[in-house]
């Protein structure tokens, strides 16, 4: 079985409060992005464990910490699943605020459920995904959604950026999500993100904020420079996604010759 875990963008990201369980309550609109990893999962009757391999963008960290691996062993504690060979080809940069690892874990849960005919219901998959990570549950829905709480409250929103041109820039910086949350402070905005998104896109620049930018930009000013460069190129809106370090710009028209501006950076272009 081959599946294609996709990235996401954050349109606004409010840190509402810090919770007693050390997580944070957030408000953000998640938008699926057509940038995808490739995940192959097949049964392996010759052994009774997981054989995991990767290619593409190098996967950092210990194998045991990969969310595909964690998903396999999480399901093994609850269901009688057998040996599996899993290969992950990474196209989504890590430490970028694009949810690539979370998507891989969520897609792994669904793939294993289908592979072993576990008949997992929506509530069970949602529970399992939240055990893996706060963003994982979103990728079981994978439509424009308002995400609240620590990521467990997900409600579909009637929203589209159809016809806009997207430029996504990853400056080669890995922002550790846990560290980013340790320094972020709740913002002062009280206006709900869904209401802001009803405004013309050019007004978002002054209202639609990502609360991580203040602390992350202080540590990595080059990320702030990418955002400003996107505006100078004519973006109607630009923002860091998630806790960074990827920055995206929305344009009304295609942008010519991006290579002269972002040499050595990962650049993804798409029509939404």
Q: pLDDT digits over 211-256, tens only?
A: 999 999 999 999 999 999 999 999 999 999 999 999 999 999 998 8
Taking alpha carbons only, the member of 233, 232, 213, 231 closest to residue 223 is 213
- Annotation says 188 is catalytic: no
- pTM score over 0.85: yes
Q: In percent, how much of the chain has pLDDT > 70? A: 100
Give per-residue pLDDT as tens, 107-127.
999 999 999 999 999 999 999
Judged against a pLDDT cut of 80, whether residue 190 lies above it is answered with: no
pLDDT of residue 56: 97
Dihedral, CA atoms, 247, 252, 257, 261, nearest 10 degrees?
A: -30
Q: How far apart are alpha carbons 128 and 160 in whole angstroms?
A: 29
pLDDT of residue 143: 97
37, 104, 135, 211: which one is catalytic? 135
- Annotation says 135 is catalytic: yes
Judged against a pLDDT cut of 90, whether residue 173 lies above it is answered with: yes
pLDDT of residue 133: 93
Taking alpha carbons only, the member of 132, 146, 143 closest to residue 101 is 132
Q: Of 27-36, 137-146, 184-193, where does mean pLDDT reach its minimum?
A: 184-193
Could you tell me if 42 and 23 are in contact, meaning their C-beta atoms sit under 8 angstroms apart?
no
Q: In what order do the strands lie in the sheet with 165-170?
A: 237-240, 247-251, 165-170, 266-271
Could you tell me if 48 and 103 are in contact, meaning their C-beta atoms sit under 8 angstroms apart?
no
Spell out the alpha helix ranges (H) of 81-188.
100-115, 122-132, 177-183
Q: How far apart are alpha carbons 244 and 239 in whole angstroms?
A: 10
pLDDT of residue 125: 97
Give per-residue pLDDT as tens, 16-64.
988 877 788 999 999 999 999 999 999 998 989 999 999 999 998 889 9
pLDDT band at 139 (very low <50, low <70, confident <90, very high): very high
The domains located in the chain, with CATH, are 2-156 (3.30.230.10), 165-271 (3.30.70.890)
């Amino acid at each position: 079985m081959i599946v294609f875990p996709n990235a996401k963008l954050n349109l606004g990201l409010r840190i509402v409060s810090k919770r007693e369980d050390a997580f944070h309550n957030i408000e953000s609109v998640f938008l699926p992005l057509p940038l995808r990893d490739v995940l192959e999962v097949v049964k392996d009757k010759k052994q009774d464990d997981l054989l995991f391999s990767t290619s593409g963008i190098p996967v950092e960290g210990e194998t045991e910490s990969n969310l595909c691996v964690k998903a396999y062993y999480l399901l093994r504690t609850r269901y009688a699943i057998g040996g599996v060979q899993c290969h992950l080809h990474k196209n989504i940069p890590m430490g970028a605020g694009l949810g690539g690892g979370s998507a891989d874990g969520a897609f792994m849960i669904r793939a294993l459920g289908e592979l072993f005919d576990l008949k997992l219901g929506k509530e069970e998959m949602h529970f399992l995904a939240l055990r893996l990570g706060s963003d994982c549950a979103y990728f079981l829905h994978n439509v424009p959604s308002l995400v609240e709480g620590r990521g467990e409250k997900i409600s579909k929103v009637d929203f589209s950026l159809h016809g806009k041109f997207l430029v996504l820039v990853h400056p080669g910086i890995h922002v550790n999500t846990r560290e980013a949350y340790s320094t972020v402070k709740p913002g002062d905005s009280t206006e709900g993100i869904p209401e802001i998104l009803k405004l013309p896109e050019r007004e978002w620049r002054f209202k639609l904020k990502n609360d991580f930018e203040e602390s992350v930009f202080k540590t990595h000013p080059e990320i702030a420079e990418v955002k400003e460069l996107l505006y100078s190129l004519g973006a109607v809106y630009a923002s860091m996604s998630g806790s960074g370090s990827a920055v995206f710009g929305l344009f009304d028209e295609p942008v010519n010759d991006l290579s002269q501006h972002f040499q050595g950076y990962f650049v993804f272009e798409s029509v939404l």
